[in-house]
Amino acid sequence: MSAPMSVRLHARRALGLALVGTFATGGSVAAQLKDSSVGAALSVQGYSFNQSAALGIENLRLVSLDFSATVPLVEQLSLSVNGAYAKGTMRRASLPQLDISGLTDTQVSLTYSPNVYFNVSGIVIAATGKETQTLDESIVAGAMASDLLPFRVSSWGSGGGGGVNASVARPLGPVGAGLSVGYIAGRQFEPLSGGLFAYRPGALLRIVGALDRTVGNGGKASLKVAYHRYGEDQINGNNLFQSGNRLQALVSLAFPMGAASSGIAYASVTHRQRSRLLADFPMAQASASQNLVIIGGGFRRPLGNAVLQPDAELRVLRRSNGAGNGFDMGIGATLEIHRTHAVFAPSARLHVGRLDVGSGESSGLLGFELGLSARLGGGS
């Protein structure tokens, strides 16, 4: 999804000016650096399928490098930037390999926090990603966007956009309560090379509510409910498609384990409504409704200047039309190593599961993930 040159130059110039302004505003550079944080995460993920003939895919591979930074500008005002570079590969039986690579879109957020209870952010999604793709690239990107397989990158570019998000959190007696409301609108772009059509995604309204309460001897129970409402997508200025709205409920319980260790267990259900076609278009298809169930847990155990974090997670996907149903079970561990003003975290995970491929056939899947993340500053 290669953005037009004018858009790319504008996005890079705006990002550069924002970063320059960070160190030219309010307070000494040393003080700003003390409260700043910079992070990066390198990840290699892969999935292989034992019924490649029926599925049409032998394996999928993703190499990604995520980056993030948060810098205070003046008191109560901070700037955050995050994005990624990724390369996705699809190997197919007796067919050429397909690839997609490049930067994803970059999100820049300016956050005002007048107190510990409230903050509001202005958000710009800079079109630094591959918003215009070849047909082969779009096939790989579509496979990486699977709700069942937890790839770290699911979109290489969406044309950019912007919006706002506001959050408030207050104690209500023994209960902590929070509410977040966000709105993101995208811009028009050409998703396929060749100028076949112009596409504009529908705006997203996101509402999230959360409650938590201390339970037992130092434990904490939490409930989060999120609602995502999507506006109408457009093709060449005409309303074409409306994505199914999503409703998610997540419950979790964090609890102490002995004098220094702690554990967590969680479960969530995300329901996506069936999408609606608003006009005839050769490449448009209405999607089925679906439910994604996630159950997981893990614990933290201090080991000197490090923390070992084993974890396990089961993901189960069910669609109303039966296509693409399956499950993925992941188990692994992260070792969080603390140094002065820095945290390093190598990780490894193994995945096993099954995916329905249609016509009564299914394919076993075997996956892996190797990662290394680093964070500097920000109270590390």
pLDDT band at 24 (very low <50, low <70, confident <90, very high): very low
pLDDT, mean of residues 15-21? 36
* More confident call, 200 vs 121: 121
Q: Delimit the domains of the chain by residue range.
A: 5-377
pLDDT, mean of residues 220-232? 95
pLDDT value at position 7?
33
pLDDT band at 249 (very low <50, low <70, confident <90, very high): very high
pLDDT at 17 over 90: no
Q: Which long-range contacts (CB under 8 A, 24 or more apart) does 95-100 make?
A: 98/136, 98/137, 98/139, 98/140, 99/136, 99/137, 99/140, 100/130, 100/133, 100/136, 100/137, 100/140, 100/141, 100/156
pLDDT value at position 19?
35
pLDDT at 16 over 70: no
pLDDT, mean of residues 151-163? 92
pLDDT at 22 over 60: no
Over residues 85-143, the pLDDT tens digits come to 999 999 998 889 999 999 999 999 999 999 999 999 999 999 999 889 998 999 999 99
Q: Which two tokens stand for residue 320?
A: 């109303």
pLDDT band at 176 (very low <50, low <70, confident <90, very high): very high
pLDDT value at position 241?
65
Put the strands of the sheet holding 276-277 in their side by side order: 199-200, 232-235, 238-242, 276-277
pLDDT, mean of residues 151-162? 91
Provide the residue type at 46 as one letter: G
d(CA 25, CA 165): 24
d(CA 156, CA 84): 9
Task: Confirm or reject CATH 2.60.40 for domain 5-377, answering yes or no.
Answer: no
Q: What's the 3-state SS for 154-179?
A: CCCCCCCEEEEEEEEEEEECCEEEEE
Percent of the chain with pLDDT over 70: 87
pLDDT at 6 over 60: no
pLDDT value at position 323?
78
pLDDT at 23 over 50: no
pLDDT band at 27 (very low <50, low <70, confident <90, very high): very low
Alpha helix stretches (DSSP H) within 198-312? none
d(CA 18, CA 11): 11
pLDDT at 30 over 50: no
Q: Do 133 and 145 touch, CB atoms closer than 8 A?
A: no
Provide the residue type at 151 as one letter: F
Please list, in sequence order, all residues whose beta carbon lies within 8 angstroms of the beta carbon of residue 352, skipping any fewer than 6 positions away: 328, 329, 364, 365, 366, 367
Q: Radius of gyration over alpha carbons of the chain, in Å?
A: 22
Highest mean pLDDT among 34-38, 198-202, 361-365: 361-365
Pairing verdict, β 95-103 and 77-92: antiparallel
Q: Which of 257, 330, 324 is nearest to 292 (CA)?
A: 324
Over residues 265-281, the pLDDT tens digits come to 999 999 999 887 766 66
* More confident call, 322 vs 173: 173
pLDDT at 170 over 70: yes
Q: Return mean pLDDT, the chain.
A: 87
pLDDT, mean of residues 250-256? 97
